[in-house]
Copies of this chain bind each other. A is one copy, B any other.
């Protein structure tokens, strides 16, 4: 089956998207998010692109270039925000925890931008390999709060927009093959901080296990979906409003505001 057909099936199976929704596709410059935008455009969904310039030298420049190429080919609006304009700093300026702060920052900015600009849903390029490696990481750490959340669709909640992973069931290598065949512009540049991430080991390991069982990633993910409910322990959990920015938050102050301590937020 062609990749577009598989994505179409996932969209139906998990009720991911509707044609009348205003969709913001978060694009990084890499193959996954670019292919997500490419396929959604092909399938005639109403999309705009969103890109954050993280200010990581060389990597962010080449990423931005590819994002602009993509937007031009697809002929869709491209929304760019500069991290330095908002926080006064780039990811490179941080002294530690680059990956976790980058994750917090991207999730916050894409959601806030989408919320403030009338989008219904955010689509990201996360694929099967991403999902199982995050899941494995959360199991190894028994991060019980995050364990129920490895879903293809996270519904909207207050000021959190709906989040959709159209490649939830698709392996990375299939996306790469498709992107190359279609001539989608993307960069293979790796962020220089990525090499330190333990998730690289999870990916290597899961790829190694494929030699024993070629369906192991999907089986692991579908088994998880079957038993996911056992991780839902915090039944009386209530979201709050961040006291600084007013966005939806798990705590009194959201992670973004805790990290960046910005007095006045301006795009």
Hey, which bits of chain A sit against chain B, CB under 8 A? 139-142, 144, 198, 201, 205, 208-209, 212-213, 216, 219-220, 223-224, 226-227, 230-231, 233
A-B contact pairs, 24 of them (CB 8 A): A139-B139, A140-B209, A140-B216, A140-B220, A141-B219, A141-B220, A141-B223, A142-B220, A142-B223, A142-B226, A142-B227, A144-B227, A198-B209, A198-B212, A198-B213, A201-B205, A201-B208, A201-B209, A201-B212, A205-B205, A205-B208, A230-B230, A230-B231, A230-B233
Complex Cα distance A90/B262, Å?
A: 71
A28 to B139, CA, bound (A): 32
For the complex formed, measure the closest distance between the CB of A137 and the CB atoms of chain B, giving whole angstroms. 10
- Complex Cα–Cα for A201 and B144 (A): 25
User: Which of A142, A209, A223 gathers the greatest number of chain B CB atoms within 10 Å?
Assistant: A142
A140 — which chain B residues lie within 8 A by C-beta?
209, 216, 220
Contacts of A224 in B (CB 8 A): 142
Chain B residue nearest to A223 in the complex (CB): B142
Q: How many copies altogether?
A: 2
Q: For the complex, what is the distance from the CA of A175 to the CA of B140, rounded to whole Å?
A: 24
- In the bound assembly, the distance between CA atoms of A139 and B212 in angstroms comes to 16
Q: Given A141-B219, A201-B205, list of 13 further CB < 8 A pairs?
A: A139-B139, A140-B209, A140-B216, A141-B220, A142-B224, A142-B226, A142-B227, A198-B209, A198-B213, A201-B208, A205-B205, A230-B230, A230-B231
Chain B residue with Cβ nearest A142: B223
- Give the distance in Å from the alpha carbon of A201 to the alpha carbon of B139 in the complex: 17
Kindly report which residue of chain B lies nearest to residue A216, judged by CB atoms.
Answer: B140
Q: Tell me the complex Cα distance, A205–B216, Å.
A: 16
User: Which single residue of chain B is at the shortest CB-CB distance from A212?
Assistant: B198
CB-defined contacts of A205 to chain B, threshold 8 Å: 201, 205, 208
| Shortest beta-carbon distance from A97 to chain B in Å | 14
Given the complex of chains A and B, what is the CA–CA distance between A139 and B233 in angstroms? 18
